[in-house]
Amino acid sequence: MKTLRAVWGVAKADFRERVRKFSFLAFCALAIFLTFWFIPRSTGFTALSIDPSVFIQGSDPSWVPMSSAMCGSMLLSLFGFAYVKNAVRRDRETGVLSLLRTSPTKRAAYLFGKLISSTLTLFCLLAVTMAGSFLVMEIRFPGRFLSPWDFFTPFLCVMPGLVFISAFALLMECAPLFRQRGGLAIALFVCLDITSISLSVSAATGDISGTGSRFASVFDFNGYLWMIESISAAARSVTGEPLTQVSVFSDYHVKGTHLKPLVFHGLIPSVSYLTDKLILIAVSLLITILAAALLPKAEKAISRSKPAPVPSRTKIPSRAAVPVYRFGLFHSELHMMLGTQSVFWWLCAAGLWIACLFSPMKIVRNTLVALVFAWLVPVFSRMGCLEHQSGMTAVLRTIPGAMPRQALSCWDAGASISLIAMLPVLARTLCAADWAGFLSAFIFALFVPSLSLFLGEWTKSNRAFEILLLILCFLALNVQGLLVVDQFSVSSGLRMTVTILLTGVMLFLSLCKRLASQKACT
Amino acid sequence: MNLEIRNLSMSYGKAQALSDITLTLRSGGLIGLVGPNGAGKSTLLKILATLLRPSRGQVLLDGTDILRKPDAMRRLLGYLPQDVPVYGSLSAWEFLAFMASVKKLKPSRARKQIASLMKTLHLSDVGKKPLSGFSGGMRQRVGIASALLGDPKVIIADEPTTGLDPRERVTLRSLLSGLASSRIVLLSTHIVSDVEAVASDLVVLKKGRVLFHGVPEALTARASGHVWEYTVPDFSQIPAGSSVSSAVQETEGIRVKTVGDRPTASDTSAASPTLEDACLYVMGGGSF
């Protein structure tokens, strides 16, 4: 009873701490905004398309919850993972973990409390998505209602996956290899997510069966298999034929004739799928127990042989040296970004860089570039927010011009790292006279540090950037040529123009905010 | 209640944070742990609070080895770290309720204790405000309340007076001193005046070693005959290398008090040592 009380106490405090932050409100707003984006369209880029040559897309209100659940589960799993994966780190950084270690509460009880809190937080975001879907349904199909089963069940099948995501995030925080390497954890989760979706789709299309199919069903934490089965059942009831195409976030321009309306009736009742979801929850609980075993019982003695990463040479600029004043700062920023990375990180970064140099260009464009930038997340994620988090802004504001100067140097350093990371792609596209590829790669290389600086400066946190870049990398892995195009076209030109504008605007706004902070009296 | 520390050593690579410390701490009076920055006070307290494992040695609480059975200490411990950790979005009441649940207190008992502690520490008026808006002193009081939840038998406070104004420091010292009659209360500080009035047992630490353990009067007596006072016209006249305890501007000049085996200036007079002078003498003194 006492242990349960401790578990509930940890869960309640952690949940309150999360949902009272501005970032939670921002995510809720983002979730509602995205539900409008999830509305299936009859042509062009759409969130969900189902056999567009057979069925009228988005013809019925039942499409709304199904589309929201399918698209929402993918995004919720990604940015939900990034959002909840700091549960233990926050306690470690604030010192609350030390305090808890001196109490009788065991590690397992503590982590189960965190699991409950993280899961409840993700459930809240799911509930917001459901509310947004309801609103969209009312706007798009006024006066047409769905039964509770038809509306709620697509969302309910996502819930066990959210428990799994929370547990996996805890494991990443406690496992020694991933504890300090947030980028690696994110990259691993992206791979896991892609694998899960691929397996689910393969099982749904019958490409795998038997044990493989069962495995895919249990670890289908996005709920896709059950949803696709339900969609298939609805499609078969109309045409008598199996489905041939279900796409999420796709671009199509099929114009068919004699298209049929497709109506969904929620999830098909299935004891097998329900059992698999319960198994997934049980696996999540086991993962949490494993995380508890990996969480250290006591602090490690802090090694004093390695000093904290302080810039080794920070020159105080003299009047005569004003034109080159930024080089000292630039060097410091580079050192702070790269000096804290481990040998393992450097080895993987080097491996990815070499892979970009020698792999077929198609793989580089569609896969490797996304992985490179996912790997660079720990380098970029503190841009713009490190000064706020460490309290340095209080000091920088007392030095004339230091705030915008530091921000600019930070951007310089980030852009340099980004361009060096993209060097193989830039060199290869240049040599092949692939101007579209070169330009898009160059623009993207400048876009990422601008995005990081902007989000870090305005949110004073690294998480917004981590989550957005994660989503971008995930989309890049699924949408060919999203980051590095292979030819000029209207859409690629538009994308590049928007990216350049965004890069400039974000950098400008970041510097403006810094200038404003410098000039403010309080 | 007895806390026995036997041959405790802690090293970080080649650096020795604690060297062969042997102490016995008893309930019945507040125990002051003083020493300069980097002496190893926090390291020692973290080991006693079961947060760190030492490189060598034993710590026995009433005969139980807490390094092997940390729960034996944790069930009785109230720990106040140097920087009070809080959840900024929670109110004081919510945070204390959280700490009470983590300490496995029954809800009814927790509510009574929280109400009583908030009243004692003057937090009742701000109990529902978020902790992010609290001043340093208020956060410290919340930390103290959290440490005192569950009626701990061992209280370890790491520099708890940091950030408190003089009145708050006196209140805290008196509170902890009052609790020490039936508990082991260990308070670390580098400000000697924090423990001067209330400590019945003193441990002086420097560079990981115990320089003194005993009653404050014994430490003061050790410095007797080694404290000197003289007046100089300005600071530049103070001899280099002197262990200066205080240098106060007065109308006649600067009244300097030094500690050492011999006076370092002419025309000095012997002075009665304060506890601070005695600590300075034992620690080898500062220089001016």
The tens digit of pLDDT for each residue in A236-281 reads: 888 887 777 777 766 665 566 678 888 888 888 888 888 989 999 9
* CA dist., res. A252 & res. A366, Å (int): 19
Q: Which residues of A touch B132 (CB under 8 A)?
A: none
How far does A20 lie from chain B, in Å, by closest CA? 6
Question: How confident is the model at residue A293, as a pLDDT?
Answer: 92
Residue B130, CA distances (Å) to A93, A94, A108, B107, B165 in order: 19, 16, 28, 21, 22
Q: Which tens digits make up the pLDDT trace of A161-175?
A: 999 999 999 998 888
Contacts of B89 (CB under 8 A, 6+ apart): A16, A17, A20, A21, B130, B131, B132
Give the number of domains in chain A: 2
A93 touches chain B (CB under 8 A): no
Question: How confident is the model at residue A184, as a pLDDT?
Answer: 60
8-state DSSP, A319: S
Contacts of A363 (CB under 8 A, 6+ apart): none
Query: Under a CB-based contact definition with an 8 Å cutoff, are residues A102 and B77 in contact?
Result: yes
| A333 and A459 inside one domain | yes
Highest mean pLDDT among A78-92, A416-430, B244-258: A416-430
H-helix or E-strand spanning residue A50: strand A44-50
CA-based torsion, B149, B152, B158, B159: positive or negative = positive
Per-residue HEC secondary structure of chain B comes to: CEEEEEEEEEEECCEEEEEEEEEEEECCCEEEEECCCCCCHHHHHHHHCCCCCCCEEEEEECCEECCCCHHHHHCCEEEECCCCCCCCCCEHHHHHHHHHHHCCCCHHHHHHHHHHHHHHCCCHHHCCCEHHHCCHHHHHHHHHHHHHCCCCCEEEEECCCCCCCHHHHHHHHHHHHHHCCCCEEEEEECCCHHHHCCEEEEEEEECCEEEEEECHHHHHHHHCCCEEEEEECCHHHCCCCCCEEEEEECCCCEEEEEECCCCCCCCCEECCCCHHHHHHHHCCCCCC
- A310 inside domain: no
> Between β-strands B154-158 and B77-80, what pairing exists: parallel, antiparallel or unpaired?
parallel
Query: Under a CB-based contact definition with an 8 Å cutoff, are residues A453 and A411 in contact?
Result: yes
Interface touch B98/A103, C-beta < 8 Å: no
- A155 inside domain: yes
Q: Which tens digits make up the pLDDT trace of A479-494?
A: 777 788 777 777 778 7
How far does B179 lie from chain A, in Å, by closest CA? 20
| A154 and A281 inside one domain | yes
* CA dist., res. A165 & res. A283, Å (int): 11
Contacts of B153 (CB under 8 A, 6+ apart): B1, B27, B76, B182, B183, B184
Question: How confident is the model at residue A204, as a pLDDT?
Answer: 67
Residue A303 has pLDDT above 50, yes or no: no
Position A308 confidence tier, pLDDT thresholds 50, 70, 90: very low
Q: Which of A103, A305, A306, A389 to mutate to test the interface with B (most CBs of B within 10 A)?
A: A103
* CA dist., res. A238 & res. A50, Å (int): 13
B:63-82 residues touching chain A, CB 8 A cutoff: 70-71, 74-75, 77, 79, 81
Residue A315 has pLDDT above 70, yes or no: no
Position A318 confidence tier, pLDDT thresholds 50, 70, 90: very low
Question: How confident is the model at residue A16, as a pLDDT?
Answer: 93
| A284 and A429 inside one domain | no
B89 touches chain A (CB under 8 A): yes
How far does A17 lie from chain B, in Å, by closest CA? 5
- A317 inside domain: no
A315 touches chain B (CB under 8 A): no
- A301 inside domain: no
Beta bridge partners of B201: B31
* CA dist., res. A247 & res. A242, Å (int): 15
How far does A389 lie from chain B, in Å, by closest CA? 14
Q: Which tens digits make up the pLDDT trace of A351-405?
A: 999 999 888 888 888 888 988 988 898 899 888 888 887 777 777 776 777 788 8
Write down which residue in A274, A294, A314 finishes a domain: A294
* CA dist., res. B46 & res. B63, Å (int): 19
Interface touch A20/B130, C-beta < 8 Å: yes
Question: How confident is the model at residue A327, as a pLDDT?
Answer: 62
Task: Tell which phi-psi region holds residue A401, choosing left (phi > 0), alpha (psi between -120 and 50) or beta.
Answer: left
Which parts of chain B register pLDDT below 70?
A: 265, 285-288
Residue A312 has pLDDT above 50, yes or no: no
Question: How confident is the model at residue A302, as a pLDDT?
Answer: 42
| A250 and A166 inside one domain | yes
Question: How confident is the model at residue A43, as a pLDDT?
Answer: 65
- A313 inside domain: no
Number of Cβ pairs < 8 A linking chain A and chain B: 108
Structure tokens that stand for A476 in this block: 């890049």
Q: Which residues of A touch B11 (CB under 8 A)?
A: 301
Edge-to-edge strand ranges of the sheet holding B254-259: B244-249, B254-259, B227-232, B269-270
| A402 and A464 inside one domain | yes
| A373 and A244 inside one domain | no
| A337 and A224 inside one domain | no
Question: How confident is the model at residue A242, as a pLDDT?
Answer: 77
| A285 and A358 inside one domain | no
A12 touches chain B (CB under 8 A): yes
Specify the residue for token string 């590829």: A437
* CA dist., res. A139 & res. B158, Å (int): 60
| A282 and A359 inside one domain | no
- A311 inside domain: no
Query: Under a CB-based contact definition with an 8 Å cutoff, are residues A396 and A510 in contact?
Result: no
Residue A288 has pLDDT above 90, yes or no: yes
| Residue span of the structural domain in which A455 resides | 329-520
Question: How confident is the model at residue A520, as a pLDDT?
Answer: 62
Query: Under a CB-based contact definition with an 8 Å cutoff, are residues B266 and B211 in contact?
Result: no
Q: Which of A20, A25, A102 to mutate to test the interface with B (most CBs of B within 10 A)?
A: A102
Q: Which tens digits make up the pLDDT trace of B247-278?
A: 888 888 888 888 887 777 677 788 888 888 88
Cα end-to-end span (Å), chain B: 43
Cα end-to-end span (Å), chain A: 49
Q: What percent of chain A has pLDDT above 90?
A: 19
- A226 inside domain: yes
Residue A316 has pLDDT above 50, yes or no: no
Point out the residue among A16, A101, A305 whose CB comes nearest to the CB of B51.
Answer: A101
Position A314 confidence tier, pLDDT thresholds 50, 70, 90: very low
Beta bridge partners of B9: B56
Highest mean pLDDT among A218-222, A445-449, B169-173: A445-449
Residue A513 has pLDDT above 50, yes or no: yes
How far is C-alpha B103 from the chain's CA centre?
24
| A289 and A339 inside one domain | no
Helix, strand or coil for residue A383?
coil
Interface touch B104/A6, C-beta < 8 Å: yes
- A467 inside domain: yes
Query: Looking at residues A310-332, what average pLDDT do you find?
Result: 48
8-state DSSP, A44: E
**B127 vs A317, higher pLDDT:** B127
Residue A409 has pLDDT above 50, yes or no: yes
Question: How confident is the model at residue A465, as a pLDDT?
Answer: 87
- pTM for this entry: 0.73
Beta bridge partners of A44: A252
* One-letter identity of residue A130: M
Question: How confident is the model at residue B169, as a pLDDT?
Answer: 84
A306 touches chain B (CB under 8 A): no
| A155 and A276 inside one domain | yes
**A393 vs A453, higher pLDDT:** A453
Question: How confident is the model at residue A292, as a pLDDT?
Answer: 92
> Which regions of A244-398 does DSSP assign to beta strands (E)?
246-252
H-helix or E-strand spanning residue A49: strand A44-50
Q: Which residues of A touch B100 (CB under 8 A)?
A: 9
Interface touch A9/B98, C-beta < 8 Å: yes
Structure tokens that stand for A125 in this block: 């975001």
Query: Looking at residues A426-431, what average pLDDT do you find?
Result: 88
Write down which residue in A246, A275, A294 finishes a domain: A294
A308 touches chain B (CB under 8 A): no
Question: How confident is the model at residue B43, as a pLDDT?
Answer: 92
| A124 and A199 inside one domain | yes
Specify the residue for token string 């809800």: B107
